[in-house]
Amino acid sequence: MRDLVSDLHKRRMKMMFIVLILACISIVVSYNFSFTPSNYFDGKYNNDFLLFLIIYKLIELPVLYYLLMHKHVINIKKDNFFENQLEKIQKHTKLLLFLVPQGNTVFGFIAYKLTANVSYFLLFSSIALITLYLIKPNKLLL
């Protein structure tokens, strides 16, 4: 289990680094290129859709955390852990550490396309960084 936790720490740091690199790239791109906001439905619903994206992410991330990591932490603390579950725990936690930056990057890109404002991409990047920071693989240890 210690190998899994150390591997998850490394993966978490890599994902945080990737999110930071993407945020820096987005800043450079926004200064060098100009984009216009999307005009779907004449742009009436861009802010509503953006608000929906933010609320969706703030609801989705705790649900993902619970489904992919916290339930395993609960089972380990209740002594319901068996060696055959180790592969499932490893698969779920790695998936969680992949989905957080990937989903926030996609949502940030959509928000950037809707508003042509890089600050919304940076908002989703910061949500990803905060989420990755709050995920503590040490909780899997007894």
Question: Residue ranges per domain, the chain?
Answer: 2-140
pLDDT in tens, 24-55: 999 999 999 988 888 877 778 888 999 999 99
pLDDT in tens, 67-79: 998 888 888 888 7
Q: What is the pTM of this model?
A: 0.89
**130-136 — which CB contacts under 8 Å span 24+ positions?**
131/61, 131/65, 131/100, 131/104, 132/12, 132/15, 132/16, 132/19, 132/97, 132/100, 132/101, 133/16, 135/12, 135/65, 135/69, 135/96, 135/97, 135/100
